[in-house]
Amino acid sequence: MSFFDELGHYLSSANTRVEILGDLGDHVYLALLPLVLGIVLAITAGWLGHRWRPARRVLTVLANLLYTIPSLALFVVIPGLIGSKILDSVNVVVALTIYTTALLVRPVLDALDAVAPSVIAAATAVGYKPVRKFFAVELPLAVPVLAAGVRVASVSNISLVSVGALIGTGGLGVLFTDGFQREYFSPIVVGIVLTLLLALVVDLILVGIRNLLTPWERAGRTGVAVA
Amino acid sequence: MITDLFHWFGDPAHWSGPDGVPQRLLEHLGYVALSLVIALVIAVPLGLFVGHTGRGGVALVSAGNAIRALPTLGLVTFLFLLFTESVTSTIIGLVVLAVPPVLAGTYAGLQATDHGVVDAAQGIGMTGWQRLWKVEVPISLPLVLGGIRNAVLQLVATAAVAAYVGLGGLGRFLLDGLAILDYSEVIAGALLTTVLAIVLDLLFALLNRALVPRGVRLATAAATGKKVTA
C-alpha cells in the first residue's frame, strides 16, 4: 500500500477528521493565548525597563536566562512551581507565555529607545499626559519592531506546543505520539503539514494586523517613491 | 520538592552505570556536538557563499523560516519511523534544526558588512578570497557566532525531546521519571538539561569575546554608543 493510499484511508474516517480538528483547535488555543499574554507582559516589562535603568538590566538578563531553558524542562518544572497537575494544559500556556515574554522584552526595549526624542517632546508640548503619550505615541511607533519579534514568537510557539504532547496536553502533538505508538506515518504527516499551515496562516494574519496598525509605513513608502 | 531533589542527587546509584548522570550528560553532549559539527559543515560554507555573492538570499531566508516552523516532535517521530533507529534519525533531525540558525547568522553577518569596507578592500587590490577571509568573515563573526549559539540551544532542547523515540541523554531522566511518576527524577532531568544549556550559552559568550577581533568590538560599541575600555 502506498503512502497516499494509507493517508486516504486514515482521513476517510469521519471520527479521525473530527479528532484532528479538535487537536487543531487545541493547538491554536495553546499557541495563541500565550502569544497574547506574552505581548502584554513584554510591553509592561518594556515600559518599566525603559523608564527605570536598574530594571532594564535585570529584565534583559532574566529574559536571556529564561529563553535558554529547554522547552521540555520548562514544561515539567511549571507544575512544581505553580502547583498545577502535571498533565494540566495550563503548564504549556505558562511555559510558552514565559518564552514569548522573554523573546519580546528586548525588541520592546529597543523599539521604545528608537522613538525620536523630538516626537516625544512634541507630544508633551501639545499636552499629552504620560499614560496617553505611551499608548498613543510611543507604543504605536514601536509596532514595526515589536511585530517582527511577535512573528518569530508565533512560529516558535506553534512549533513548541507539540512538545506538550509528551506531558499529556492536547494539540497537534497528539498526532505525533499517536503515529509513533502505532508506527503509522499518516497522523505524523498530517500533524506536520497542519502545523506548518497554521504557522503560515497566523504569520499572514500578523502581517495584516501590523499593516493595519502602521498606516504611516505605507504612506511613507509611496511618499519616498513619489519623491 | 527541594529535599526530594537533594535525595535524588545524593543517591550514588544515580551517578554511575549506563543510567548515571555522567554517562547521560556525555551522551547528550555527544549528540549536540556531532549534529552541530555536521550542521556547521553544511551551513557555514553555504551561508558564506550566498552572503558573499548575494545569490539566492531570498530563497535561503524563506527556506530557513519554513524549517523553523517544523514541530520538533513531529520531525523526530517521522524520522524514527523512516529509519527505525533512534540515534541515526535523531542526529538527522537535529542537523535539520541546527542548519537554519547557523545559515541565517552567517548570511545576515555578511549582509550587514558595510559595503564601503568591502569596496575599500577591493580598492587596495584584495582578491575575492582575501576579501572574504580578511574582511567579511571577521566583521560578521559576532552574528555568525550568535547563529551558532542559537543552534546549540535548539540542539540541547531537542535532544531532550528525542528521548521519546528512545534516544539516550538527559531527556531520559525527564521521560522515564514521567513514566513512573517519579517527580524528583523529572525535576533532576529538567535541572540538568537547563544547567547544560546555560553553561553552553556562557561558553559561547566567552568564545565570542575571545574570537571577535578587538577592532570589530570597538566599531560595534561605537555604533551603539557604548563606551569601551579595551
pLDDT of A227 reads 37
Q: Which of A64, A72, A192 to mutate to test the interface with B (most CBs of B within 10 A)?
A: A72
pLDDT per position as a tens digit, B118-134: 889 889 989 888 888 88
pLDDT grade for B230, boundaries at 50, 70 and 90: very low
Tell if the CB–CB gap between A80 and B77 is shorter than 8 Å.
no
Query: pLDDT tier at B226 (50, 70, 90 boundaries)?
Result: low
Identify the pLDDT of residue A208.
93
Residue B60: pLDDT band by 50, 70, 90 thresholds?
A: confident
Inter-chain touch A73–B190, beta carbons under 8 Å: yes
pLDDT at residue A221 in the model? 58
Q: What is the pLDDT of residue A226?
A: 41
Cα separation, A22 vs B16, whole angstroms = 45
Closest Cβ–Cβ partner in B70, B178, B197 for A70: B197
Contacts with B149 from chain A: Cβ below 8 Å: none
pLDDT at residue B228 in the model: 46
Summarize pLDDT for A19-73 with one digit per residue, the tens.
Answer: 999 999 999 999 999 999 999 999 999 999 988 888 888 998 899 899 899 998 9
DSSP letter for each residue of chain B: -HHHHHHHHH-GGGGSSTTSHHHHHHHHHHHHHHHHHHHHHHHHHHHHHHHHH-TTHHHHHHHHHHHHHS-HHHHHHHHHHHH--HHHHHHHHHHHHHHHHHHHHHHHHHHTS-HHHHHHHHHTT--HHHIIIIIIHHHHHHHHHHHHHHHHHHHHHHHHHGGGGT--STHHHHHHHHHTT-HHHHHHHHHHHHHHHHHHHHHHHHHHHHHS-HHHHHHHHHHTT-----
Q: Given CB atoms, is A65 within the 8 Å cutoff of chain B? A: yes
Contacts of B80 in chain A (CB under 8 A): 180
Assign A220 a pLDDT band (cuts: 50, 70, 90).
low
Q: Residue B53's pLDDT is what?
A: 83
Residue B79, C-alpha cell as written in the block: 524520522
Q: What is the mean pLDDT of chain B?
A: 86
Residues of B in contact with A65 (CB under 8 A): 198
Strands (DSSP E) along chain A, which ranges? none
ipTM: 0.84
Whole-number pLDDT of residue B94: 93
pTM score, whole prediction: 0.86
